[in-house]
Amino acid sequence: MRLDDGDDSGSDEGLNLTPLVDVVFLLLVFFLAATTLAREEVELDLRLPEARSGAAPGADRALVVNVFADGRIVVDGRELTLEALRQRLAAAWQRDRDQAVLVRGDHAAQFGIGLQVLDACRLARIQKVDFAALPQKN
């Protein structure tokens, strides 16, 4: 009669892949979320004007203010009034004195709305303001 001493040298359990699958799943979710958030500003229904000195809009850490043809102002996917925009810009300047602003205006937007956005930037003491434009086609 043979007693089992607990030695399972003949059985091979293999490698546990559960932690690896968890890490790969988390990375996949992270990259999907990052890609979705990065495209949010680009997918807005704006037709930028063209300019000879225009360059493709791509501000690194600039606060992007979108001005639509109907006069709506959208920042980070939220529609704001002019007063709310002023408060948002002032708060951004308080956090970072070198805060930059990129104004993306529809080519059919009224000049007055763009001027009011520029005025809001000046009242918030923001010095770095750029207007987005597409390069002019020859």
The CA–CA distances, whole Å, from 94 to 91, 127, 128 equal 5, 13, 14
Burial 97-129 (b: 16+ CB within 10 A, else e): eebbbbbbbbeebeeebbebbbebbeebebeeb
Q: Which residues pair with 103 in a beta bridge?
A: 65, 131
At 51 the pLDDT is 76
Compute the half-sphere exposure of residue 124: CA atoms within 13 Å on the CB side of its CA. 31
pLDDT tens figures, 48-81 = 777 776 555 555 678 889 999 899 999 988 999 9
At 14 the pLDDT is 79
Q: Is 73 exposed, middle or buried (0-12, 13-18, 19+ CB in 10 A)?
A: buried
At 60 the pLDDT is 60
Q: Where are the domains of the chain?
A: 50-135
At 126 the pLDDT is 93
Q: What is the CATH number of domain 50-135?
A: 3.30.420.270
At 9 the pLDDT is 57
Write out residues in the chain with pLDDT < 50, as ranges.
43
